[in-house]
């Protein structure tokens, strides 16, 4: 599927400033009539525009959609080649975070550099939204919360609440945006999750790292790869020989139907597994850690990946 952004990038650093398409806001009646599409009408005279700085572009994309014309969003990690784990922020990133009305970071040990930027640039009126805290994740938990559809819903609600806190005069607008994003923008993504669960729930699959461990439960797939291997690859440490042997046997004996790997972290061990899976006739499908291509919206990115996963499952199972 072709990834077509549902927003138009404005001028600025890379794809950091986002705007979302939709129907115009004219009156309350007009809003209810176009409740399935976010508003693009510009804010009225004197209206406030909230500055949101997101550590990563997957959260930035969602914040831009929820805020519509009443936000200016900058995503610090907006390049698919950048590694959010060990990113080295620039002076421009520090300035952006210092001037943020809302700072949106993932937390759970995923982007410690972002927390350091916030601490080094105190701003009494800035709202800090840490995703891990919002979803109740603690240190040591899987940090890839944007791959958990339930957590995505929770974060959408919190972003909306924080936008209303930063700009209470436009609370009704943000409520309308929230409903529209759920009912329109994210519907294909959420529908695909449900479709995969209904058609392929219980199907054994393998994966290269812990990103997919967040999505597998929502889709009902049985992820049989040893959890220690998933965590090791995600954290950049060496997996054990025992875990690698287990995966080799799963592939050789075709105990998995599909192998899912993160193409942005294809270590030699992962590359060997991909090669072995293809040789065994096991369909292989790709996911990425951050938006790919860089200008994609969150939902277009996820829909493309879920569509490929669904296709691979259909090939493997004949359903």
DSSP for the chain, please give it: -----SB---SSSTT-S--B--BPP-SHHHHHHTTTS-B-PPPPTT---EEEEEEEHHHHHHHHHHHGGGEEEEEEE--TTS-GGG----HHHHHHHHT-SEEEE--TTS-HHHHHHHHHS--TT-EEEEHHHHHT--TTS---GGG-HHHHHHHHHHHHHHHHHH-GGGHHHHHHHHHHIIIIISHHHHHHHHHHHHHHTT-EEEESSTHHHHHHHHHT-EE-S-HHHHHHHHHT-PPPHHHHHHHHHHHHTT--SEEEEEGGG--HHHHHHHHHHHHTT--EEEE-SS-SSTT--HHHHHHHHHHHHHHHHHHHH--
Q: What is the mean pLDDT of residues 95-119?
A: 96
* Structural domains of the chain, with CATH: 28-185 (3.40.50.1980), 189-317 (3.40.50.1980)
Determine the pLDDT at residue 288. 95
Judged against a pLDDT cut of 90, whether residue 213 lies above it is answered with yes
Q: What percent of the chain has pLDDT over 70?
A: 85
Q: How far is CA 96 from CA 14, 191, 292, in A?
A: 14, 36, 23
The predicted structure's pLDDT at residue 80:
85
Res 35: pLDDT: 38
Average pLDDT over residues 240-261: 98
pLDDT of 159 over the 60 cut = yes
How many residues are given for the chain?
A: 319
pTM for this model (two decimals): 0.85
Whether the pLDDT of residue 2 is over 60: the answer is no
> What is the rounded average pLDDT of the residues 154-183?
97
Q: Which of 1-5, 131-135, 247-251 has the lowest mean pLDDT?
A: 1-5
Average pLDDT taken over every residue of the chain: 88
123-132: average pLDDT: 95
pLDDT band for 5, please (50, 70, 90 cuts): very low
pLDDT tops 60 at residue 8? no
What average pLDDT score do residues 255-278 get? 96
Q: Which of 76-90, 94-108, 158-172 bottoms out in mean pLDDT, i.e. has the lowest?
A: 76-90
- pLDDT, residue 26, reads 31
Tokens of 314: 């259909």
Structure-model confidence comparison of residues 134 and 35, the more confident one: 134
**pLDDT (tens digit, 9 = 90+) per residue, 37-79?**
565 455 555 568 999 999 999 999 999 999 999 999 999 999 8
Q: How confident is the model at residue 9 (pLDDT cuts 50, 70, 90)?
A: very low
Residue 44's pLDDT is: 54
Residue 46 has a pLDDT of 53
Assign 95 a pLDDT band (cuts: 50, 70, 90).
very high
pLDDT at position 6 is: 34
Mean pLDDT confidence for 140-147:
97
For residue 136, pLDDT over 50 is answered with yes
Q: What is the mean pLDDT of residues 272-285?
A: 98
pLDDT of 81? 83
């Amino acid at each position: 599927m072709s990834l077509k952004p549902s927003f138009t990038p404005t001028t600025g650093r890379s794809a950091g400033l986002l705007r979302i398409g939709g129907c115009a806001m004219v009156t309350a009646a007009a809003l209810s009539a176009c409740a399935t599409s976010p508003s693009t009408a510009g804010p009225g005279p004197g209206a406030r525009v909230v500055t949101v700085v997101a550590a990563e572009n997957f959260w930035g994309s969602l914040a831009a959609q929820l805020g519509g014309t009443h936000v200016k969003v900058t995503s610090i990690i907006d390049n698919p080649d950048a590694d959010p784990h060990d990113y080295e922020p620039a002076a421009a990133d520090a300035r952006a975070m210092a001037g943020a009305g809302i700072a949106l970071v993932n937390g759970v040990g995923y982007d410690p550099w972002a927390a350091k930027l916030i601490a080094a640039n105190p701003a009494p009126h800035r709202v800090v939204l840490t995703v891990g805290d919002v979803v109740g994740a603690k240190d040591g938990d899987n940090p890839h919360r944007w791959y958990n559809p339930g957590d995505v819903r929770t974060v959408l609600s919190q972003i909306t609440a924080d936008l209303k806190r930063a700009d209470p005069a436009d609370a009704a607008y943000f409520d309308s945006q929230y409903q529209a994003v759920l009912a329109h923008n994210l519907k294909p993504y959420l529908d695909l999750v449900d479709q995969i669960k209904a058609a392929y729930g219980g199907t054994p699959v393998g994966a290269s790292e812990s990103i997919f461990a967040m999505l597998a439960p929502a889709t009902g797939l049985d992820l049989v790869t040893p959890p220690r291997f998933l965590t090791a690859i995600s954290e950049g440490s060496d997996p054990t020989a025992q875990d690698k042997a287990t995966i080799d046997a799963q592939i050789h004996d075709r105990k998995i139907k599909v192998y899912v790997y993160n193409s942005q972290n294809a270590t030699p061990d992962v590359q060997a597994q991909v090669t072995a899976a293809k040789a065994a006739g096991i369909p292989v499908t790709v996911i990425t850690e951050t938006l790919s291509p860089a200008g994609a919206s969150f939902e277009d990115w996820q829909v493309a990946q879920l569509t490929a996963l669904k296709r691979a499952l259909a090939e493997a199972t004949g359903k």
